[in-house]
Structure 1
Amino acid sequence: MLKAQRDSIRLLRGILVASVVLPTALFCYASWLGYHNITTIADRQIDQTRDVITEHALKVFESVERSMAEITEIVRDQSDGQIMDSEAALHQRLKRISAGSEQVKSLWIFDSHGRALANSLSHPAPPIDFSDRDYFSAHGERDIGTYIGEVLRPRPPYGGAPFFGVSRRRPSSDGSFAGVIQASLLPDYFEGFFAKISREFGSYAALVRNDGSILARQPAIGRNVSVGANSDLGKLMLARNVEGTLTMTSAVDGLERKLAYRRLSNFPVYVVSGMETRAIRAKWLAMMGSYMIFGLPATAALIALVMLALTRTQRLYEEASRRESAEQALKQAQRLESLGRLTGGVAHDFNNLMMVVGGSAQRLRRRHDDPQDRRALDMIDSAVNKATTLTRQLLSFSRRHAVSAKVVDLAESVHRFSDVLRQSVRSDIAIEIERPAGPLPVRIDPNEFEIALLNLALNARDAMPDGGRITISIKRRIDGKTPAGAAGDLVVLTFSDTGSGIAEDIRERIFEPFFTTKPVDRGTGLGLSQIYGFVQQSGGAITVDSELGRGTRFELAFPISNETPHRDADPAEQSPSRLPQPTTLLLVEDHPDVAAVAADYAQQCGFDIVAADSAETAIQLLNRRHDIGLVFSDIVMPGMSGLELGRLIREHHPEIAVVLASGYSDRSATALDEGFPLLQKPYTLEALRHTLFQALGATRTA
């Protein structure tokens, strides 16, 4: 059964782990696959954007070249003077050409000294020296073909947007430098086009000279910036790579991008397109978010269902375990109840018999002085004591023993009994007692408590054949749980040893009566049973913690008492051996042999005896006689019980002391609670004398 439960719990836990691991693994795979797809799509978009802006840039620069070629044909073989003479016509012609190209800001014709001969902006051309401009100075030494210059700002008196120049040498018949034909292009035009085709977040497009200078850029970030000669893209451009892809962090804005570049054929310019890697990741995260919107609730629902099934199964098994434990406890309680009923049924008569045997032995002891007879009588007394102890242990375990509880300081009780404990163990066993700082009062039976301590010490001694240590500590536990379940302070006595320990398979049975691991001649199995019954009847609880090879630890917890600890009487206050004055004692006992023994004991104490075999007869005697000073009655009798008789005497004759006796009765505890002195059968002469004299003295004092 337990194996099947463990297997089902293990299976559900495995399903729970799988419901977490498998969706996580699938999500990780989907994440990897989604990232791969997103990057592939991004690469495709970057390549497509590069193709579009490449085609557009080629058309723009080819258009500009055609315009400059047309101007070249117009001024071919013309001297500077001829061009200046026809400046007005050239101005109009250049103006019409530039007006037909949206990207062209202006067209210029310069002489060999950098002075404008004609332009599309104004007539006449101002006498300004443009020889320092790069689009002019680049052609001075040799014919380099088409040159694309840096982004410049217009020189006064001209204004407007920044531009970069596209220029070529003017043709001459002898090949000498005759001047420059130049077109001013607007970066804003290119940036506007880039913005139209790159509307997605993180998109990037640029027009870059082969030295890394940026002519146009989207997103725009200012003029006269460069990708950096030491950057990966700058190095590729300087190496004259035609096209390629790379991922790099921009030196301009510090953003990481995936880039695709291509050089325009026949032009010293590169087109670059790209996308920020954070934008690619954002797309991927958005896609993963959409997966999670549907996946997480489903996974959470699956996990919740499995956890619910696991929790319900565990609760079911725990409930089954508790039910089984409850059934075992019920069976144990029923066994104890049966044992208690059996014990209680025979205890009264058995104790009466022991009373007769013990009393008869005492009478014979007074009459015979023969040593052999005394030895036989000693054996009888020993047997009576052992039988009495055995009956008391059984009644204590079944919680039917009338505990004579009183408030005592638990630590002081242990201290007083420590010498007995040390004498009961071997010299190779040390006993350490840890006492609290102040008194810890509890309501217990001191005699039963001492027997419990002695039983624990003897068990510890047997568990330490090679010697060891016993530690007894008494502590106060604040805000603990009482055995009844209520909150309250406890006094906890911990009794631990360094012995061999208790095996787990027998730990639950150690408190059962007659259960023992000792040989038949070394134990009855009632020691721990007596401790269990004593603790339970004292309103406490006992727990055990043990492991083979590591010793055993018992904890006895008792509710702390608010009363003052009881103080034992001084020897000077003990009862005298005989009465100081004659007193008549009414002996109420239905068992004739027990009555004979009790009468003999009472006569030895100095009482005049009047006997009655029932409570009804005792009432008649009390009504007729007025010399009775003390009533000594058995509790269990046919008809009216001794407890009922005591109540009537207390009500109608409060001057008469009442002492009750019982071999066993479930009314004994009630008698103690109502304040009646109680003697447990079989009692001795000394016990009877002490109890009767004490009761008689208390009544006379009152």
Structure 2
Amino acid sequence: MLAAQRDSLRLLRAILVASVVLPIALFSYASWLSYRTNDANADRQIDKTRDVVTEHALKIFESVQRSIAETAEIVRDMSDDQIRAAEHALHDRLKRLVGGSEQIKSMWIFDKTGRPLVTTMQVPASHPDLSDRDYFKAHLGKDDGLYVGRVLEPRPPFDGAPFFSVSRRRDAPDGSFAGVIQASVLPDYFEGFYAKVGREDGSFVALVRDDGTILARMPEIDRTDLSVKPDGIVGQAISEGHNEGRMTTVSSLDGIERRVAFRKLPNLPVYVFAGLETRAIRSMWVAQIGAYLLVGLPATAALIAIVMLAMRRTQKLYEEADRRQAAENALKQAQRLESLGRLTGGVAHDFNNLLMVVGGSVQKLRRRHDDLQDIRSFDMIDSAVAKGTALTRQLLSFSRRHNVAAKAIDLGEALHKFADVLRQSVRSDIGLTIELPSGPVVVMIDPNEFEIALLNLTLNARDAMPEGGRITISIHTETLKNFGPRRLTGRYAILSFADTGVGIPDDIRERVFEPFFTTKPVDRGTGLGLSQIYGFVQQSSGAITVDSEVGRGTRFDLFLPLTSEAPARDESAPQMEVRGAETPKTLLLVEDHPDVAAVAADYAAQCGFTVVPANCAEAAIEVLNRRRDIDLVFSDIVMPGMSGLELARLIREHHPETPVILASGYSDRSASALSEGFPLLQKPYTLETMRTALTQAMQRAAIRPTA
């Protein structure tokens, strides 16, 4: 396919060269078309454009004046309080009034302090102080009639395109100043019309106030300085005081020489200008010479244009095909990973409940059997439960449903502390180079997940270098804009992990982050290492990319967003003594899974609690409303109907003296539970972890100050 693309482009280039070379001999003929004819045609064209834009401007200002006059008639003899009371009705009426006007952005009614009473921008209207705007200050003195303001930028909370104002004074019944009625007119509307009228190369059209302030212009200019200088085209026309005329001079704004015709709008402080660049006029004259000189030149030029267009379109077509193919591949990969994530998350959820039942049942059997052979069997089951727990942790990390305990850490410091572990994980024939940043690089991540990700990358790199090699880990920062399929934007830390191993073939590179996909033998890995890393960076609002070449190594780049928070410092948590309850306590157990509820009830009984079961949050609320002896609530998060987190919020609101502990195999609400201060146990939990959580909850409840 690449060869066919190159051949087609080479053929088009050959045709283009031939189209240029063959007619070169014809370019010696002289022209009889006079410069005066071309000059006169240019003047007629400029006058025609001026007449068109003058008529257009008059119609627009007449329409705006009508809208303002009708608005004034609507609110005539109405006080500010009456206007405020009728704000919704007035808003709807003004919306209908300007609804068919593309040139009017919005209509406003201001009180005498410069605050909006009614606006078509929003209802109810915000009330910022806009008394410093020119369209308001112009009417504070005497009534000067209609005022045309400068081009302004919207002020928060309002937004949108720049505008200039057409306004008039609003008088009270006694003739005093009551406020302003203002219409925001879009310069973009005029400029869009001017672009249609002045399609010729070098066309110039402008709408200017009589003080030299530009309201609209084509071609566009920087709106930060809209005041013309007196020595320019517009400045000269206005300073001479003529209502109509024509001149040729250099613009003070862009330094371009133009021939311009101007006219002042009747009864309005506004001029319209239309013109052509003298360069464009000369170009038209040269074009006319060519048209008369060369009979075959138009055909030749058309052929050249067609060939060049065909070349551009062909090249763009090939580029677009390549981009589309890359985008389709990225989309398919993202959809595949998302589907796998949902599947693995659901499997891990059910698996956690099963592990909970298995682990709890084994602990129960341990208390009843002391035979050595049975104890060994129980140990094997406990080991399998621990491995299953680790497996579900990796599955939940990939599916981005694992509860990540993120905190601000210095990426370089964390890598430096973990470097010894990484060096111990590789053979002596593999060199490990760590390039630390010169300053702090702080990101918001789970440090444990980060260490697991580094270890997985190191082990994969070790296995990819059976004959030795080198691993290089570096950290740097970069500002991204719409980077990658996730369109990352902002300041990011980039951790690059590169090895000199065998590399990843192109046909499997897109699948390396899929769970359980691996090229290793069955006994060498589960295929969850890279999927865990993928889930970790996704959960951390980042991304991971892979670049590999067979025989030359692989580089993974982890993109993690920078944070402005200070790095968290490791502090030794105060040790709390864990012991059984000294006096019998009552625990409300809320769990919809009957087997898990049985295990949790057994654990709680061993901790010295009297258990009151409830199979849903609604049943738990009935128990709490009926009984006053509930000392502690232990609830699952994911349940049909009301969730455990919603139940915990209700208990905190109506029974603040009753502590609540939440448990979950996985839940999107786990992060919310932790952020709201609820203790959280991850399933499958053990007797000891539950005992610790229950004891700590009771101790916190005992020392909580009473209101």
Instruction: Kindly state the Cα deviation for residue 464 of structure 1 after the two structures are TM-superposed.
Output: 1.0
Alpha-carbon displacement from aligned partner over 1:384-431 (angstroms, at most 9, x marks no partner): 222223333333223333333333332333333333333332233233
* Mapped contact 1:622–1:628 kept (Cα < 8 A): yes
- Over 6 Å off, 4+ runs: 289-300
Instruction: Kindly state the Cα deviation for residue 552 of structure 1 after the two structures are TM-superposed.
Output: 1.1
* Mapped contact 1:15–1:306 kept (Cα < 8 A): no
What's the counterpart of residue 642 of structure 1? 644
> What is the DSSP-based 3-state SS (H/G/I as helix, E as strand, rest coil) of the residue aligned with 2:510?
helix
> What is the DSSP-based 3-state SS (H/G/I as helix, E as strand, rest coil) of the residue aligned with 2:666?
coil
Q: How does 1:154-303 map to 2 (within 5 A)?
A: 302-303=303-304
Residues 305 and 463 of structure 1: CA distance in aligned 2, closer, same or farther (over 3 Å):
same
What's the counterpart of residue 492 of structure 1? 494
Q: How many residues align?
A: 443
| Partner amino acid, structure 2, of 1:561 | T
The yes-or-no answer on 1:652 pairing with 2:648 is: no
Residues 409 and 600 of structure 1: CA distance in aligned 2, closer, same or farther (over 3 Å):
farther
Q: How does 1:544-563 map to 2 (within 5 A)?
A: 544-563=546-565
What's the counterpart of residue 348 of structure 1? 349
Of 494, 502, 505, which residue of structure 2 is paired with 1:503? 505
Give, in whole Å, the separation in 1 of the partners of 2:556 and 2:441.
19
* Mapped contact 1:585–1:631 kept (Cα < 8 A): yes
Alpha-carbon displacement from aligned partner over 1:430-457 (angstroms, at most 9, x marks no partner): 3332222443222222332222222111
Q: How does 1:221-620 map to 2 (within 5 A)?
A: 302-366=303-367, 368-478=369-479, 485=487, 487-570=489-572, 573-578=574-579, 584-605=586-607, 607-620=609-622
| Partner amino acid, structure 1, of 2:451 | E
> What is the DSSP-based 3-state SS (H/G/I as helix, E as strand, rest coil) of the residue aligned with 1:628?
coil
Give, in whole Å, the separation in 1 of the partners of 2:637 and 2:410.
32
Q: How does 1:66-77 map to 2 (within 5 A)?
A: none
* Mapped contact 2:23–2:297 kept (Cα < 8 A): no
Give, in whole Å, the separation in 2 of the partners of 1:687 and 1:414.
30
Residues 693 and 16 of structure 1: CA distance in aligned 2, closer, same or farther (over 3 Å):
farther
Instruction: Kindly state the Cα deviation for residue 461 of structure 1 after the two structures are TM-superposed.
Output: 0.9
Give, in whole Å, the separation in 2 of the partners of 1:14 and 1:631.
78
Residues 602 and 671 of structure 1: CA distance in aligned 2, closer, same or farther (over 3 Å):
same
Give, in whole Å, the separation in 1 of the partners of 2:503 and 2:427.
18
Give, in whole Å, the separation in 2 of the partners of 1:688 and 1:439.
38
The yes-or-no answer on 1:14 pairing with 2:10 is: yes
Instruction: Kindly state the Cα deviation for residue 380 of structure 1 after the two structures are TM-superposed.
Output: 1.3
Give, in whole Å, the separation in 1 of the partners of 2:487 and 2:357.
45
Give, in whole Å, the separation in 2 of the partners of 1:656 and 1:683.
22
* Mapped contact 1:577–1:605 kept (Cα < 8 A): no
Residues 494 and 335 of structure 1: CA distance in aligned 2, closer, same or farther (over 3 Å):
closer
Give, in whole Å, the separation in 2 of the partners of 1:694 and 1:560.
35
Alpha-carbon displacement from aligned partner over 1:251-282 (angstroms, at most 9, x marks no partner): xxxxxxxxxxxxxxxxxxxxxxxxxxxxxxxx
* Mapped contact 1:662–1:679 kept (Cα < 8 A): yes
Instruction: Kindly state the Cα deviation for residue 493 of structure 1 after the two structures are TM-superposed.
Output: 1.1
| Partner amino acid, structure 1, of 2:12 | L
Residues 415 and 376 of structure 1: CA distance in aligned 2, closer, same or farther (over 3 Å):
farther
Residues 613 and 317 of structure 1: CA distance in aligned 2, closer, same or farther (over 3 Å):
same
* Mapped contact 1:474–1:493 kept (Cα < 8 A): yes
User: Larger Cα Rg: Structure 1 or Structure 2?
Assistant: 1
What's the counterpart of residue 270 of structure 2? none
Instruction: Kindly state the Cα deviation for residue 635 of structure 1 after the two structures are TM-superposed.
Output: 1.5
Give, in whole Å, the separation in 2 of the partners of 1:672 and 1:299.
75
* Mapped contact 1:575–1:689 kept (Cα < 8 A): no
Residue ranges of structure 2 left out of the alignment (5+ in a row)? 29-289
> What is the DSSP-based 3-state SS (H/G/I as helix, E as strand, rest coil) of the residue aligned with 1:509?
coil
What's the counterpart of residue 112 of structure 2? none
Alpha-carbon displacement from aligned partner over 1:598-655 (angstroms, at most 9, x marks no partner): 2344455555544322222322232244443432211222332212211211221233
What's the counterpart of residue 118 of structure 1? none
The TM-score, its normalising length taken from structure 2, stands at 0.56
| Partner amino acid, structure 2, of 1:459 | N
Residues 463 and 581 of structure 1: CA distance in aligned 2, closer, same or farther (over 3 Å):
same
* Mapped contact 2:589–2:634 kept (Cα < 8 A): yes
What's the counterpart of residue 188 of structure 1? none
* Mapped contact 2:480–2:489 kept (Cα < 8 A): yes
* Mapped contact 1:630–1:658 kept (Cα < 8 A): yes
Give, in whole Å, the separation in 2 of the partners of 1:597 and 1:397.
28
Give, in whole Å, the separation in 1 of the partners of 2:693 and 2:564.
27
Superposed CA RMSD in Å reads: 3.6
Question: Percent identity over the alignment?
Answer: 69
Residues 629 and 433 of structure 1: CA distance in aligned 2, closer, same or farther (over 3 Å):
farther
Residues 459 and 670 of structure 1: CA distance in aligned 2, closer, same or farther (over 3 Å):
same
Residue ranges of structure 1 left out of the alignment (5+ in a row)? 35-288
> What is the DSSP-based 3-state SS (H/G/I as helix, E as strand, rest coil) of the residue aligned with 1:407?
strand
